[in-house]
Amino acid sequence: MHEETVKQWDRDNAGEKHIAPEGIECPKHVAIVGLGLIGGSLARRLRESGCHVSAWNHRDHPYANARAAGIDCKDTLEELVREDPDVLVLCNPLMAMPEVLGTIKPLINPDKTTLTDVGSVKAPVRAQVREVGLLDCYVGAHPMAGNERSGWVAADPSLFDDALWAVTFGPTTQYRRVVQIAGMITRGVRNTMIMLDDETHDREASLISHMPHVVSTALINEMSNDPNNAIASALSAGSWRDMTRVALTDPDRTRAMVVENSVNVEELLHRMIDRLSEIADALHEGDDTEIKRFFAEGQPYRDYKAQLNGTRLSDSTETVFRSIRIDPEHWREQLLKSAQHGEYIVRFTSGHRLIAEQRPNIRAK
């Protein structure tokens, strides 16, 4: 059985000439749709690694500079797709996705080209890819890179310095596509990655980003409506500034992000409401035990952050790398478990084996 599935994998990868025994390399030709902050930075980063990068943007104003940076800019999206790139990366906004996918669908050669994207919410993209029937050649991706700027003018390959990517799979995702995208990320962009399903990605993204954005917005709403807000803002210091900084970024962008992930955000808001109700009740009742419990509950996270800081400040630290043999039948469970254990994938050394770095974990008390 094991033998057979390995053979299956080998059959799947028969056309992948660039899978060398010394490790999975970056695909030779990556095509990028959209030369904004992320697409532009990614294109320049991949060029730095010697990859052939072609691109199309809905307006051609970045083309002169992009061409000077060695990027092969195409006049039409059709032209970009017809060249059968190894990987086609959708860096366009989510709202342009139906139109872009509609254009790609009749032209893409799904045997030759793997489709991926860089959106920060994964399930809606997969749904749209499913809609046009391109699921079999699709792998989701979300690089933890970005800043508050936008457009080609802000594009900078260093945006990807030390970035981690979340790469997402569904039940029908082909393993060879995942390995190919891993090659692009680890060799081409020189980043690390974790692998997981879209649902887990979107739930955890709502915990660390989308829900906190809503909470921060609720704080500035309270301030805006406070009759004594001149006094409140006079008294405000670092804690207020930190907690409200994200509410100052473009509210339309935040709203779009929250709405894309609304089910998870709603669930986490209810969890926050429960937590805040419990501590409000404890304060009301003067329940010292419960109040102490509330302030102690997050200690595992404080300890984890202290450990990270200690590692950063130490002169000499040890990093544990694990070499993992991938079982071609259970790769999804295996890779998800690796992510859940706090491992970052550093490189695929072959189609069957990868190296992962063990990162510090939040440990329950």
Q: Residue 189 interacts with a copy of itself (CB under 8 A)?
A: no
Binding part of the chain for a copy of itself, among 7-15, 173-181, 246-254, 319-327 by CB under 8 A, reads: 246-254
Q: Residue 240 interacts with a copy of itself (CB under 8 A)?
A: yes
Q: Residue 64 interacts with a copy of itself (CB under 8 A)?
A: no
The nearer residue to a copy of itself, 10 or 357, going by C-beta atoms, is: 357
Q: Given phi > 0 = left and psi -120 to 50 = alpha, else beta, which region is 98? A: alpha
The nearer residue to a copy of itself, 110 or 360, going by C-beta atoms, is: 360
Binding part of the chain for a copy of itself, among 17-25, 42-50, 179-187, 266-274 by CB under 8 A, reads: 266-274
Q: Residue 149 interacts with a copy of itself (CB under 8 A)?
A: no
Closest CA to 181 of 303, 358, 304, 16: 16
Q: Residue 56 interacts with a copy of itself (CB under 8 A)?
A: no
Residue 143, SS3 per DSSP: strand
- Binding a copy of itself (rule: CB under 8 A), the pick from 3, 22, 252, 315 is 252
Residue 23, SS3 per DSSP: strand
- Which alpha helices (DSSP H) does the chain contain, by range? 2-12, 37-48, 63-68, 77-82, 97-104, 123-131, 175-183, 198-205, 211-225, 229-235, 238-244, 251-260, 262-285, 288-297, 299-313, 331-340
- Binding a copy of itself (rule: CB under 8 A), the pick from 13, 49, 65, 200 is 200
Class of residue 349 by CB neighbours under 10 A (exposed 0-12, middle 13-18, buried 19+) = middle
Q: Which residues, numbered 286-345, are part of the site for a copy of itself (CB under 8 A)?
A: 286, 291-292, 294-302, 304-305, 339-342, 344
Task: Give dist(CA 205, CA 207) in Å, integer.
Answer: 5
Binding part of the chain for a copy of itself, among 5-13, 81-89, 130-138, 255-263 by CB under 8 A, reads: 255-263
302 is written with which tokens? 């404080």
The nearer residue to a copy of itself, 128 or 206, going by C-beta atoms, is: 206
Q: Residue 154 interacts with a copy of itself (CB under 8 A)?
A: no
Q: In terms of DSSP bridges, do strands 23-24 and 192-197 run parallel, antiparallel, or are they unpaired?
A: unpaired
Q: Which residues, numbered 82-141, are part of the site for a copy of itself (CB under 8 A)?
A: none
Using an 8 Å Cβ cutoff, are 321 and 338 in contact? Answer: no
We find the least distance from the C-beta atom of residue 53 to a copy of itself, in angstroms, to be: 25
